[in-house]
C-alpha cells in the first residue's frame, strides 16, 4: 500500500511561510495550503488578502477550516522526519542532541547543524536551503550548539573564525584589520588542533599525576598498615617488658618477705632462748633467796658461819643490761631490696629505650636497602662465589681467573658490582658461623694489587672480626669494639652526602659503629672479605641477605 512519502514530495508538506511541516493546514480559494496561524498572521499585517505564493487577491477574507486530509498526511510526514533525524543523530555522536531546531514551531525536532552566520540551529528539514541556495552554502555550519550569540564578535557582530595567539583570544576577520592587525592569528581549526594536542599532552600529564598520587595514596595506606602492625608489635613488646618488670617486683617482694619472716623467726628463737636462760636464773635466784631467808632466822651460830660464805656469793648469771633482741632488722633488708630493684629497673628501662631508639633508626634506614651482587671481576683468585653472586667464602685452591687491573691479587677481598656516588644505600650480610670477616665500603680507586691496610686513608671504611671475639672499627687509629652479643647479621648503611658509614647488629637491633664526617668524592662499592680459612674453622660463607624490616624484639629479665 502506497504511503504519503511515496505519493508526494517533501516540499508539498511544507508551509511556504514558515518553511515547516504543516500545523493545522488550511486551503484558501486559489488552492494553496498554509498553516492556519501563518496565513492568518500574514493577512493581519496586510491591507489586502492575497496568496503569498501566486499573489492572487481574495475579495473577501474567507473563513478558514483545517483540511483534515492534509493534516493527517502532514502528521505522518512529521513522524517520518523525526525518525530520520533521530537516526542521523545516532550516526553522528558528536551532535549535541539537547539542541532543538529554532525553526520548528510545533513539536521541536533535534537540530542537525547550527549556522554561525545566521545564528540559528536547523533540523535536517530546515537545513535544506543551506545545502541548496548558493549564498547560504557559503555560511559556516557547525555541530549544533546553544548560545550562538557567544560565537559572534561583540565589537563587529561577525563570526569568531580566527584565533589570536598573541592575546590568546578568538577574533573575527575585522579584528585582524584593526586591534589585532599585527598579531599572530590563525584559523580556529588550526588553533583547535594545536590546543587539542596540548590538551592531550596535559591530559596525559594529569593522568600521570593522578597515577602518581594514587600510588602515593597506596604507599601511605601501606605505611599506615605497617605503622599499625609496628604499633601492635611495640605494644606487645612493652606488655612483655612491663609484665617481666611486675614479675621481677613480685619476685623481689616475695624474697623480701621471706627474708623478713626468716629474720623474725630467728629473733623469736633468740628470744625464746634468752627467756629460758633468764627463767632458769630466776628459779635459781629464788631458791638462793629462800635459803638466805632461812639462814637469817637460824639460831645455830656454827651453821650460819659455815653456810654464809657459799650463800653470800651470787650465783653466775647473765648481765641483763647486755641482753637484748634486735627488733629493727628489716630496714637494711628493705633498703638493699629496693636498691637492687631500682638498679634492675633502671637497667631494663635503659636497655628498652636503647633498643627502641636503635630499632626505630634501623627500621628507617632499611628503606634504603639495595640488591647487592658480588663482582667476580674483582674477586681474589682463592674466593669461591655462588652462581647468584650472593655468597662468598675462601677456598684453599686458587681459581683460574685472569689477573685484570680490577682484581685483588693479594688481599682476600671482593667488591659489589654496582657503585654509588650519591644518596643513601643499605645492605645486610649474614656472618653466622665465621671467626674472621671484614665488611664495609671502599672507594673505586682502592688499591687492588699487593697487601692492603684497611683504613679511611686508604679508601676503605670497614669493621672486622678476628679470632671469633675481637671486633674492631678500622678507623685511624682503629677502635676496639665492646659488643654485648656476637652479631649474626650485620647491616651496613651509607649516607653519601652526610659522609657517614654505619654498622648495625640487625638481630639485636643495636648500633655497632659509625664513621662520621667523611668526605666522599668517588663511587663507593660494598666491600667484603671472608678472610682466610687455613684452619677450616672459618669455612662459613658471607651471605648477602634480603632485608627484612620486621625486626624482632626480645628483652630478658
Do residues 57 and 48 lie in contact, with contact meaning Cβ atoms separated by under 8 Å?
yes
User: For residue 330, what pLDDT is reported?
Assistant: 54
CA 234 vs CA 250, 347, 359, 537: distances in Å: 24, 19, 11, 39
Please, which residues have CB within 8 angstroms of residue 337's CB and are 6 or more apart in sequence? 252, 255, 256, 259
Cα 171 from chain centroid? 49
Asked if the model's pLDDT at residue 190 lies above 60, the reply is yes
Q: Average pLDDT, stretch 303-327?
A: 71
**Can you list the alpha helix ranges (DSSP code H) found in 402-494?**
none
- β-bridge mates for residue 107, sequence order: none
- β-bridge mates for residue 544, sequence order: 429
pLDDT for 244-300, tens place per residue? 888 888 888 888 888 888 888 888 888 888 888 888 888 888 888 888 888 778 787
pLDDT for 215-231, tens place per residue? 888 888 887 887 788 78
Rounded to 10 deg, the angle between the 188-296 and 301-312 helix axes is 160
**DSSP strand pairing (424-430 vs 489-495):** antiparallel
Report residue 333's pLDDT band, with 50, 70 and 90 as the boundaries: low
Q: Which range has the worst mean pLDDT, 80-94, 142-156, 456-470, 496-510?
A: 80-94
Do residues 419 and 525 lie in contact, with contact meaning Cβ atoms separated by under 8 Å?
yes
Retrieve residue 275's grid coordinates. Answer: 627467756
**Cell 540559528, residue located:** 120
For 481-499, b/e burial (b = at least 16 CB within 10 A) is: eeeeeebebbbbbbbbeee
Do residues 127 and 144 lie in contact, with contact meaning Cβ atoms separated by under 8 Å?
no
**Cell 677502635, residue located:** 479
User: For residue 2, what pLDDT is reported?
Assistant: 44
Q: Average pLDDT, stretch 131-156?
A: 81
Q: Which range has the worst mean pLDDT, 8-12, 139-143, 285-289, 410-414?
A: 8-12
Q: Considering the chain, what percentage of its residues have pLDDT values greater than 70?
A: 86
pLDDT top residue among 160 and 517: 517
Task: Please give the Cα distance from 410 to 33 (Å, whole number).
Answer: 115
Query: Residues of CATH 3.30.40.10 domain(s) within the chain?
Result: 4-83
Containing H/E element for 415? Answer: strand 414-415
Do residues 401 and 381 lie in contact, with contact meaning Cβ atoms separated by under 8 Å?
yes
**Cell 663482582, residue located:** 375
Whether the full predicted model's pTM is greater than 0.75, yes or no, is no
User: For residue 34, what pLDDT is reported?
Assistant: 86
pLDDT top residue among 204 and 464: 464
Task: Please give the Cα distance from 477 to 544 (Å, whole number).
Answer: 28
Do residues 438 and 464 lie in contact, with contact meaning Cβ atoms separated by under 8 Å?
yes
Q: What architecture does CATH give domain 4-83?
A: 2-Layer Sandwich (3.30)
Please, which residues have CB within 8 angstroms of residue 40's CB and are 6 or more apart in sequence? 64
Tell which phi-psi region holds residue 147, choosing left (phi > 0), alpha (psi between -120 and 50) or beta.
left
Task: Please give the Cα distance from 449 to 524 (Å, whole number).
Answer: 18
CATH of 365-545, one of 2.60.120.920, 3.40.50.300, 3.20.20.70, 3.40.50.1100: 2.60.120.920
Asked if the model's pLDDT at residue 414 lies above 90, the reply is yes
pLDDT for 477-509, tens place per residue? 999 999 988 999 999 999 999 999 999 999 888
E strand segments, 116-218:
120-122, 141-142, 162-164, 169-171, 185-187
For 452-470, b/e burial (b = at least 16 CB within 10 A) is: bebebeebbbbbbbeeeee
Q: Which range has the worst mean pLDDT, 30-39, 41-50, 402-411, 450-459?
A: 41-50
User: For residue 552, what pLDDT is reported?
Assistant: 40
Amino acid at each position: 500500500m502506497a504511503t504519503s512519502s511515496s505519493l508526494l514530495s517533501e516540499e508539498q508538506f511544507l508551509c511556504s511561510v514558515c518553511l515547516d511541516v504543516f500545523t493545522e493546514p488550511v486551503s484558501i480559494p486559489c488552492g494553496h495550503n498554509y498553516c492556519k496561524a501563518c496565513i492568518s498572521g500574514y493577512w493581519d499585517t496586510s491591507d489586502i488578502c492575497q496568496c503569498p505564493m501566486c499573489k492572487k487577491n481574495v475579495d473577501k477574507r474567507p473563513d478558514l477550516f483545517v483540511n483534515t486530509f492534509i493534516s493527517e498526511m502532514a502528521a505522518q510526514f512529521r513522524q517520518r522526519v523525526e525518525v530520520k533525524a533521530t537516526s542521523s543523530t545516532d550516526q553522528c555522536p558528536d551532535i549535541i542532541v539537547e539542541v532543538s531546531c529554532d525553526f520548528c514551531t510545533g513539536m521541536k525536532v533535534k537540530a542537525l547543524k547550527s549556522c554561525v552566520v545566521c545564528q540559528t540551529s536547523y533540523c535536517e528539514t530546515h537545513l535544506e536551503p543551506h545545502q541548496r541556495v548558493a549564498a547560504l552554502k557559503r555560511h559556516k555550519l557547525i555541530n549544533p550548539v546553544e548560545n550562538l550569540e557567544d560565537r559572534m564578535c561583540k565589537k563587529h557582530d561577525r563570526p569568531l573564525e580566527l584565533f589570536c595567539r598573541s592575546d590568546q583570544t578568538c577574533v573575527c576577520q575585522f579584528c585582524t584589520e584593526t586591534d589585532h592587525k599585527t598579531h599572530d592569528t590563525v584559523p580556529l581549526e588550526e588553533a583547535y588542533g594545536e590546543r587539542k594536542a596540548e590538551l592531550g599532552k596535559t591530559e596525559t600529564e594529569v593522568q600521570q599525576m593522578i597515577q602518581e598520587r594514587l600510588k602515593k595514596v597506596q604507599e601511605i595506606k601501606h605505611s599506615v598498615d605497617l605503622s599499625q602492625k609496628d604499633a601492635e608489635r611495640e605494644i606487645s613488646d612493652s606488655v612483655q617488658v612491663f609484665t617481666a618488670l611486675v614479675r621481677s617486683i613480685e619476685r623481689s617482694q616475695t624474697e623480701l618477705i621471706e627474708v623478713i619472716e626468716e629474720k623474725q623467726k630467728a629473733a623469736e628463737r633468740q628470744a625464746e632462748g634468752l627467756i629460758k636462760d633468764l627463767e632458769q636464773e630466776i628459779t635459781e635466784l629464788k631458791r638462793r633467796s629462800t635459803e638466805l631467808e632461812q639462814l637469817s632466822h637460824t639460831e645455830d651460830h656454827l651453821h650460819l658461819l659455815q653456810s654464809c660464805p657459799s650463800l653470800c656469793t651470787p650465783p653466775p648469771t647473765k648481765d641483763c643490761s647486755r641482753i637484748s633482741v634486735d627488733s629493727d632488722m628489716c630496714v637494711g633488708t628493705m633498703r638493699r631490696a629496693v636498691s637492687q630493684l631500682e638498679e634492675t629497673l633502671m637497667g631494663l628501662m635503659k636497655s628498652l629505650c636503647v633498643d627502641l631508639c636503635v630499632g626505630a633508626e634501623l627500621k628507617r634506614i632499611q628503606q634504603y636497602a639495595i640488591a647487592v651482587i658480588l663482582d667476580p671481576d674483582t674477586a681474589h683468585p682463592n674466593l669461591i662465589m655462588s652462581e647468584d653472586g650472593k655468597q662468598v667464602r675462601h677456598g684453599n685452591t686458587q681459581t683460574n681467573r685472569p689477573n685484570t687491573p680490577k682484581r685483588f691479587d693479594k688481599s682476600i677481598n671482593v667488591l659489589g658490582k654496582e657503585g654509588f656516588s650519591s644518596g643513601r644505600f643499605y645492605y645486610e650480610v649474614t656472618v653466622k658461623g665465621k671467626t674472621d670477616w671484614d665488611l664495609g665500603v671502599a672507594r673505586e680507586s682502592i688499591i687492588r694489587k699487593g697487601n692492603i691496610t684497611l683504613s679511611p686513608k686508604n679508601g676503605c671504611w670497614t669493621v672486622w672480626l678476628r679470632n671469633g671475639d675481637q671486633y674492631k672499627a678500622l678507623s685511624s687509629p682503629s677502635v676496639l669494639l665492646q659488643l654485648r652479643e656476637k652479631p649474626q647479621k650485620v647491616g651496613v648503611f651509607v649516607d653519601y652526602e652526610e659522609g657517614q658509614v654505619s654498622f648495625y647488629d640487625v638481630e639485636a637491633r643495636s648500633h655497632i659503629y659509625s664513621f662520621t664526617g667523611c668526605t666522599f668524592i668517588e663511587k663507593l662499592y660494598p666491600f667484603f672479605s671472608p678472610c682466610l680459612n687455613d684452619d677450616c674453622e672459618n669455612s662459613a660463607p658471607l651471605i648477602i641477605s634480603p632485608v627484612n624490616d620486621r625486626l624482632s624484639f626480645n628483652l630478658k629479665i
